[in-house]
Amino acid sequence: MLEIRGLKAGVKDKTILKGIDLTVNAGEVHAIMGPNGSGKSTLAQVIAGREQFEVSAGSVTYDGQDLLELAPEERACAGIFLAFQYPIEIPGVSNTYFLRSALNSQRRARGEQELDAFEFLDFIQDRMALLNLHEELLNRPVNEGFSGGEKKRNEIFQMAVLEPKLAVLDETDSGLDIDALRVVASGINSLRRDDNATIVVTHYQRLLNYVVPDFVHILVDGRIVRSGDRQLALDLEEQGYDRIAARAA
Amino acid sequence: MDWEALLATADGPPGLAALRKAAGARFLERGLPSPRDDGWRYTDTRFFAKQELELMRPAIEIDAPVGVRVRPLGEAVDAAQPFLADEAEQGHPFRLLNSALLRDGLLIEVADGVTVEGPLHLTITTDRGIALPRLLVAVGENARLTLVERYRAGAGACLPVTQLAVGAGSRVEHLRVHYGRDDVHIGCVDVRQQRDSLVTSHILTFGGRLVRNDLTFHLLGSGAEARLNGLYLADSEQHVDNHTTVEHAVPHCDSRETYRGILGGKASAVFNGRVHVHPNAQRTDAQQSNQNLLLTDDAIIHTKPELEIYADDVKCTHGATVGQLDREALFYLRSRGLAHDEARRMLVDSFAAEIVRRISDERLRDELTQAVVARLPGMLAEAA
């Protein structure tokens, strides 16, 4: 589904990703772990198409097409979703209006019928229940005045509505208390299917107790220094990034 | 423009001849403002120097609900006198000019205790020459009125003056909407509020070669509240100037001012918000905010608060922002599948909606929401 080869990217004078190789197949969950500043969020945003980052080398192939050629909205319509580490507040645009516009934009791109306001409300009912979201939150402006936990739940709710093929979750666990973490994790798990894939970007092992990865990759200074199975995340928790990175070097 | 010749052709209700003459003499003595004059630094009125404009009568379409009395000024000269007593001494040159050529006016009255259901619509159309409509609005005590002035202009100049006298305990909502592109529109709104009255003003400008709005609110009775909302959209080489003054003359009055501008192309705009708290006006609460969205590098905004406070127990705040579309927000919307243009339109639209949503009447709100929606694609295409 996703093939990243020799990817180098950064801002102006600073290379942040220094040669990433990663293959993600349908049905898999990959965890990318690493210390602060290792490039985890940059990788997530480069996959989603953030123009601020310049790709200087390498390739990203998604479903056989050159992903780097596509605008962020084209990637979204092709099934890529980024759950933001810091979801953006958009005053004056209601959550429902925003999400219905986004969904319809994607449906149009896929040649499907758009949903009107009533059909949309039907469509999102069980997804709201899944994330334990109140109706009142839907009518509020996007993320405005939401608590940290509500913002993260709203991200996964958007994911549930947009049904991406490849979801990239950027530090979705940060700032969540244990109850919110369980809600968010069960939301993510219930969206797992054989034909979609998830990349979980996280600093801590905690989320991986609930969203169990098939592969774990350790990112240090813009490079994946180790890859392994779930056990690697547990080792990391025990030994810390320094030792794991040192052993890799 | 030969003003003397134009003024020589002035005619109208005989009972207003003395005012026309006095205001005309004062106007000729003062002349048009120059960039050196206070308040006219960024707004160039040389348009008038370059051509001769013929005096035209504006077409005024009136849709009046039950409970409001509307008469031509010529039939109500005596009743209009309280509004006109000081008009020959006004400092604003275009307001003086309007008095000097006073003819096309309406006196609008709402009696004490009357709640007028539904808005009074006035649609004023001008397409060339120079037109000077005058609206005198007397709202009695404990009355309610929504008044909409819609200006539709082709070319030429429209210099309207509206005076509102609002009695104790009354609530008035006033909209002045200007739809134009190549015209000159220089308008004054003068509001005098008595005790416990609430006036909500919406000044909505959708473009024009040169648009200038001068608002003056006089809070004359304790407990009076003024809400001044403004939205201005301009692109290409259009210019929009909003000058507002709130005179806090007595204690315990509130003013809330919120103006927002969206500028594209090489448009320029001015916001000048003056708040004058008189020495005895204790417990004044005045808030002002002006936010601007610049869609291009060539658009210019001059924004300036002007607080003159002569009382010590007051709360006055002001703030201004100038910015571009938030890139993070744009990326967020696009990452959900919204096309770049649609994402931009959504953000700009939401910025404008913050003003439009303050209009109480649902149909008016819908009309203005649609007007914003219709205006944006052109502005955004030009800025792309």
Percent of residues in chain B assigned helix, strand, coil, to nearest 5:
25, 40, 35
Contact across the interface for A99 and B336, Cβ inside 8 Å: yes
pLDDT per residue over B300-325, tens digit each? 999 999 999 999 999 999 999 999 99
Smallest Cβ distance to B350: which of A71, A76, A90? A90
Give chain A positions within 8 Å (CB) of B346.
Answer: 90, 93, 98, 101
Nearest to A140 by CA among A94, A99, A88: A94
- Burial of B178 per CB tally in 10 Å (0-12, 13-18, 19+): buried
Please state, rounded to an integer, the average pLDDT across all residues of chain B: 95
Range of the structural domain that residue B158 is part of: 3-325
B369 occurs within a structural domain? no
Q: What's the CA gap between B372 and A50, in Å, rounded?
A: 29
DSSP string, chain A: -EEEEEEEEEETTEEEEEEEEEEE-TT-EEEEE--TTSSHHHHHHHHHT-TTSEEEEEEEEETTEEGGGS-HHHHHHTTEEEE-SSPPPEEEEEHHHHHHHHHHHHHHHTTPPPP-HHHHHHHHHHHHHHTT--HHHHHSEETTT--HHHHHHHHHHHHHHH--SEEEEESTTTT--HHHHHHHHHHHHHT--TT-EEEEEESSSGGGGTS--SEEEEEETTEEEEEE-HHHHHHHHHHHHHHHHHHH-
Taking CA–CA distances from B356, the nearest residue in chain A reads A92
Please report the pLDDT score of residue B344 as a whole number. 94
Please report the pLDDT score of residue A248 as a whole number. 59
Give chain A positions within 8 Å (CB) of B345.
Answer: none
> Which positions of chain A have pLDDT values less than 50?
none
Nearest to B199 by CA among B158, B229, B156, B233: B229
Amino acid at A199: I
Contact across the interface for B346 and A98, Cβ inside 8 Å: yes
Amino acid at B262: I
Contact across the interface for B337 and A82, Cβ inside 8 Å: no
Contact across the interface for A162 and B350, Cβ inside 8 Å: no
Please report the pLDDT score of residue A249 as a whole number. 53
Q: What's the CA gap between B252 and A84, in Å, rounded?
A: 47
Q: What's the CA gap between B34 and B47, in Å, rounded?
A: 12
Contact across the interface for B340 and A73, Cβ inside 8 Å: yes
Task: Give the residue-averaged pLDDT of B13-37.
Answer: 94
Amino acid at B226: A
Please report the pLDDT score of residue B201 as a whole number. 98
Per the CB < 8 A criterion, the answer to whether B227 and B198 are in contact is yes
pTM of the model: 0.89
Residues 147-176 of A with CB under 8 A from B: 158, 162
Per the CB < 8 A criterion, the answer to whether B270 and B244 are in contact is no
Domain A2-248 has CATH 3.40.50.300: yes
B336 occurs within a structural domain? no
B321 touches chain A (CB under 8 A): no
Contact across the interface for B327 and A105, Cβ inside 8 Å: no
Contact across the interface for A162 and B354, Cβ inside 8 Å: no
Per the CB < 8 A criterion, the answer to whether A236 and A33 are in contact is yes
Per the CB < 8 A criterion, the answer to whether A52 and A16 are in contact is no
Please report the pLDDT score of residue A127 as a whole number. 87
Helix axes A117-130, A178-190, angle to 10 degrees: 120
Question: For an interface test with B, which of A89, A93, A99, A106 has the most B Cβ atoms less than 10 Å from its Cβ?
Answer: A93
B353 occurs within a structural domain? no
List, in sequence order, every residue forming a beta bridge with B192; answer none if it has no partner.
B165, B218
pLDDT per residue over B164-180, tens digit each? 999 999 999 999 999 99
Please report the pLDDT score of residue A237 as a whole number. 83
Domain borders along chain A are: 2-248
pLDDT per residue over B280-300, tens digit each? 999 999 999 999 999 999 999
Please report the pLDDT score of residue A110 as a whole number. 93
A233 touches chain B (CB under 8 A): no
Element counts in chain B: helices (H) and strands (E) = 7, 20
Nearest to B137 by CA among B102, B111, B99: B111
Smallest Cβ distance to A48: which of B335, B339, B349? B335
Contact across the interface for A92 and B351, Cβ inside 8 Å: yes
Please report the pLDDT score of residue A247 as a whole number. 66
A105 touches chain B (CB under 8 A): yes
Q: Convert B38-78 into a string of H (helix), E (strand) and C (coil).
A: CCCCCCCCHHHCCCCCCECCCEEEEECCCCCEEEEHHHCHH
Please give, rounded to a whole number of angstroms, the shortest distance from the CA of A51 to a CA of chain B.
Answer: 8
Give chain B positions within 8 Å (CB) of A158.
Answer: 336
B273 occurs within a structural domain? yes
| CB neighbour list of residue A244: distance below 8 Å, 6 or more residues apart | A218, A225, A226, A232, A235, A236
pLDDT per residue over B61-95, tens digit each? 999 999 999 999 999 999 999 999 999 999 999 99
